[in-house]
Amino acid sequence: MDSAVSFEKLTEQFRRMPGIGAKTAMRLAFYVLELPKNEVEELAETIREAGEKIHRCPVCCNLTDEELCPVCKNVNRKHGLICVVENVESLMAIENTKEYGGVYHVLHGVISPLDEVGPEDITLKELLARVNEGGVEEVIMATGSNVEGELTAMYISKMLKPLGVKVTRLAYGLPVGSDLQYADSVTLSRAIQGRQAL
Amino acid sequence: MDSAVSFEKLTEQFRRMPGIGAKTAMRLAFYVLELPKNEVEELAETIREAGEKIHRCPVCCNLTDEELCPVCKNVNRKHGLICVVENVESLMAIENTKEYGGVYHVLHGVISPLDEVGPEDITLKELLARVNEGGVEEVIMATGSNVEGELTAMYISKMLKPLGVKVTRLAYGLPVGSDLQYADSVTLSRAIQGRQAL
C-alpha cells in the first residue's frame, strides 16, 4: 500500500539497525507514532545529544560524554595495568565481572586483512603513546579468541615487548559449567596446554 | 560500570520500545554512536519529522502525512464499502492481500472493559459521522477474533444497524494450509457453522 512518506522513512531508519527486520522496524515506527509529541521530541533529542556529546576518552578511547571516561577518572584503579579490548561492549563485559581493577584501552576494531583493516585503522598509536609515557607495568590482551583477535594480540605484543612492558593474554580453556565431551578439540587442547597446578 | 550519561539515556530510550531487551537496546545505542554525525542527525530528524507530520486522516483515522490518507484519496476505490480495523497494522495486512477495493476505518483500539477502554476511547464517533453522511452501503467488521474484537464488532453492529447499513464480519474458519487434526475445537466448530456450498 502507499503509506505515509514520513512513516516509510522512519521504518527505513529502524530497518538499518542491527538485528532489526522489516516487521520489527514497522512495530518500532508505530511505537514512535503512538508516543505523545513531547516524548517523540525527547527521543529525537536523546539521539542527537548522544551523537553530539559522546566522544572517545583521550586516554583509553572508551566512549564518554565527560572529559575523561569514568574508568580513567577513577583514582582507585591501577593505572599501570591496561586491558586491551576490541570494543566498548567487551569493556562492559569485563566491568560486569567486577574482578578487574586496572584500566582499559579500546581498539575500536581488530586487525583484519580480509576486511582491509590494518594496524593504522585501530587505536594502536594511542596505545603506544600511553606505554611510551611510562608507568605501565602490564598490558593484558583481551581481544577475541578468533583469527583476527589472535592476530591483533600477536601484533600488539610484538609492538610493546621492545618497550620492556609485560604483555599477557586472557586464559583459554573450558567455559565454566561446560561438559568435557561437548568441548571442541581446539578448546580442549588449549585447556590441556594451559593446565594449572591444584 | 559507570558509563556515559548520554549513552545510558539512549539505551533507556531503546529499552522502552516494544520487543527490545537490555542487550538489544545496548546494541542499538552502539549502532547510533558509531554512525557518522550527519546520519545521527538524520535519524533524529526523521523521528522528529514523523512525530510532527504524521496525523490521523480526517476521514478514516489512518495515519498519513498528507491531508487525506492514500486510500481515502484514491478515487478508484469503493468509498461506500468500509472495512473497520483495530489499528494501522491490520489495515496494512489487508492491503497486502491486494483483494480489497474499499476504504477503511481505523478504530485505534478495541472496546475492552478490563483495560478501561470504552466506546468513547476509540474512533466510533468518526465512524458514525461517516455513515450518517450517507453513501455507505456496507461496513465489514475486521476486528480480531478474540473477546475484545468480538465485543467491539457486536457493539458497532448494534450501533450501525438502525441506520440501515449492511454490517458484515470477516469469515471464521480453518487457516489455509492447516491440518484439521491440529485445529482447536472453537475454530473447528466455527468452520462447520460457516460451511459453504461447493
- Predicted confidence (pLDDT) per residue in A31-56, tens digit: 998 888 899 999 999 999 988 888 99
Q: Which of B4, B32, B51 shows the shortest C-beta gap to A51?
A: B32
DSSP at B77: S
C-alpha cell at A126: 594511542
With residue A63 as reference, give the H or E element that holds it.
strand A63-64
- In tens, the pLDDT along B59-97 reads 999 999 889 999 999 999 999 999 999 999 899 889 888
- In tens, the pLDDT along B28-69 reads 999 998 888 899 999 999 999 988 888 999 999 999 988 999
Closest CA to B108 of B86, B83, B126: B86
Rounded distance between C-alpha atoms, residue A72 and residue A134, angstroms: 16
Please report the pLDDT score of residue B37 as a whole number. Answer: 86
- pLDDT, chain A, mean: 90
Q: Which of B28, B35, B50 shows the shortest C-beta gap to A32?
A: B50
Residues of A in contact with B41 (CB under 8 A): 48, 51
pLDDT at B192 over 80: yes
The residue with cell 457486536 is B154
What domains are there in chain B, each with its CATH number? 2-53 (1.10.8.420), 76-169 (3.40.1360.10)
Q: Which of B26, B47, B95 shows the shortest C-beta gap to A10?
A: B47
Cβ neighbors of A178 (< 8 A, separation 6 or more) are none
Size of interface A-B (CB pairs under 8 A): 153
Chain B residue closest to A50 (CA)? B6
Residue type, A179: D
Q: How confident is the model at residue A3 (pLDDT cuts 50, 70, 90)?
A: low
The better pLDDT of the pair B179, B164 is held by B164
Cross-chain residue pair B64–A4, CB shorter than 8 Å: yes
Q: Are A121 and A109 in contact (CB under 8 A)?
A: yes
Q: What is the distance in angstroms between the Cα of A117 and the nearest Cα belonging to chain B?
A: 16
Closest CA to B109 of B97, B98, B118: B118
Cross-chain residue pair B7–A65, CB shorter than 8 Å: yes
Residue A120 has a CB neighbour count (10 Å cut-off) of 8
C-alpha cell at B43: 535519524
Residue type, B139: V
Cross-chain residue pair B3–A63, CB shorter than 8 Å: yes
Residues of A in contact with B42 (CB under 8 A): 13
Chain A residue closest to B93 (CA)? A1
Cross-chain residue pair B89–A28, CB shorter than 8 Å: no
- In tens, the pLDDT along A79-125 reads 999 999 999 989 988 988 888 999 999 999 999 999 999 999 999 99
Rounded to 10 degrees, what is the CA torsion of A16, A19, A22, A28?
Answer: -80
Cross-chain residue pair B4–A54, CB shorter than 8 Å: yes
Q: How confident is the model at residue A175 (pLDDT cuts 50, 70, 90)?
A: confident
Closest CA to A143 of A191, A84, A194, A91: A84
Q: Which of B5, B37, B65 shows the shortest C-beta gap to A6?
A: B65
Residue type, A176: V
Rounded distance between C-alpha atoms, residue B67 and residue B72, angstroms: 10
Cβ neighbors of B64 (< 8 A, separation 6 or more) are A4, B54, B55, B56, B57, B70
Chain B residue closest to A49 (CA)? B6
Q: Which of A20, A33, A53 shows the shortest C-beta gap to B63?
A: A33
pLDDT at A190 over 90: no
Cross-chain residue pair A51–B37, CB shorter than 8 Å: yes
Q: Return the sign of the alpha-carbon dihedral for residues A37, A39, A42, A48.
A: negative
Which of B2, B3, B11 would best serve as a mutation to test chain A binding (most A beta carbons within 10 A)? B3
With residue A131 as reference, give the H or E element that holds it.
helix A124-132
Q: To 5 degrees, how large is the angle CA B108–CA B109–CA B112? A: 165
Residue type, A77: R
Q: Are A15 and A27 in contact (CB under 8 A)?
A: no
Q: How confident is the model at residue A1 (pLDDT cuts 50, 70, 90)?
A: very low
Residues of A in contact with B1 (CB under 8 A): 70-71, 91-92, 95-96
C-alpha cell at B128: 458514525
Please report the pLDDT score of residue B186 as a whole number. Answer: 85
Q: In Å, how far from its chain's centre is CA B29? A: 29
ipTM over 0.95: no
Please report the pLDDT score of residue A82 as a whole number. Answer: 95
Q: What is the distance in angstroms between the Cα of B131 and the nearest Cα belonging to chain A?
A: 25
pLDDT at A196 over 80: no
pLDDT at B104 over 50: yes
Q: How confident is the model at residue A173 (pLDDT cuts 50, 70, 90)?
A: confident
Cross-chain residue pair A7–B95, CB shorter than 8 Å: no
Which of A7, A16, A45, A46 would best serve as a mutation to test chain B binding (most B beta carbons within 10 A)? A46
Please report the pLDDT score of residue B1 as a whole number. Answer: 47
Chain A residue closest to B87 (CA)? A30
Residues of A in contact with B33 (CB under 8 A): 50-51, 54, 63
The better pLDDT of the pair B135, A196 is held by B135
DSSP string, A77-116: SEEEEEEEESSHHHHHHHHHHT---EEEEE-SS--BGGGT
Helices (H) and strands (E) in chain A, counts: 8, 6
With residue B150 as reference, give the H or E element that holds it.
helix B147-160
